[in-house]
Amino acid sequence: MPDHLLAVPQGYDPDSQAIVGFMAASLDDQSRRLRETLAGLGVEHLEWQERPGRNTIGMLMAHLAGTEVGWLQVGCAGLSYEDDSKRVLEEHLGADSSAGMPLPGDGAHPENLQGRDLEGYFDLLARARSATHELLESWDDASLDTTFGGAGTTFSHRWVLYHLLEHFAAHFGQILSLLHCMRDHGVAGLPEKRGRL
């Protein structure tokens, strides 16, 4: 078994950024686990749907990248989701990367994501995470109490980091469930089930 130490990443000060660094390390560890879990998946696995309107692994990965950029680069920056989201997502993830979730009943894997391989999705996640680290390295723990508003609700930077971690973990669980579902449906070419990471 490898060591499980969750060290504060390089670029963070353990004294003034203990919480910020811990959250950054937690997000990075979720990404590491996701990469190890999905190793060997082909495009056909990333685009597999149990039925129309259900998420694919590829949709969920693109959604994770877009959500990370949205909360940190739009919300925490005080920008408007309606006016600025598309531009900011394109700046960080590229013009073809926005992935709407499928519409219930008839939604298919989005056309702009079709044919994207595993490294293409991990590239989206890496671009989002690079922007996250660049921003978080400028925050100290005291800045976590900074707030911004939206839709009649106040959010703190502390809550945003918590939400990004719970959001990533929840969709990671959904991805694991999709892998299980594919095995139940006899989808060929799946990698061996991996033990706890």
CA distance 117 to 58: 9
Examine residue 14 and state whether it is found in any structural domain, yes or no.
no
Examine residue 156 and state whether it is found in any structural domain, yes or no.
yes
- The reported pLDDT for the residue numbered 100 is 54
Examine residue 40 and state whether it is found in any structural domain, yes or no.
no
Range of the domain at 59: 51-184
CATH of the domain at 152: 1.20.120
Three-state DSSP string of 122-166:
HHHHHHHHHHHHHHHCCCCHHHHHCEEEECCEEEEHHHHHHHHHH
- The reported pLDDT for the residue numbered 76 is 96
Examine residue 30 and state whether it is found in any structural domain, yes or no.
no
**DSSP 8-class letter at 39:** T
**pLDDT tens, N- to C-terminus, the chain (197 residues):** 677 888 889 999 999 999 999 999 999 999 999 999 999 999 999 999 998 889 999 999 999 999 999 999 999 999 998 899 889 999 999 866 665 555 545 688 888 889 999 999 999 999 999 999 999 999 999 999 999 997 789 999 999 999 999 999 999 999 999 999 999 999 999 988 865 55
Examine residue 4 and state whether it is found in any structural domain, yes or no.
no
- The total number of structural domains in the chain stands at 1
Examine residue 27 and state whether it is found in any structural domain, yes or no.
no
- The reported pLDDT for the residue numbered 1 is 62
- The reported pLDDT for the residue numbered 111 is 85
Nearest by Cα to 53 from 98, 110, 97: 110
Examine residue 13 and state whether it is found in any structural domain, yes or no.
no
Examine residue 71 and state whether it is found in any structural domain, yes or no.
yes
- The reported pLDDT for the residue numbered 81 is 85
Longest dimension (CA), the chain: 51
What is the DSSP code string of 75-124?
ITTT--HHHHHHHHHHHHH-TT---PPPPTTT--S-GGGTT--HHHHHHH
- The reported pLDDT for the residue numbered 97 is 61
- The reported pLDDT for the residue numbered 96 is 64
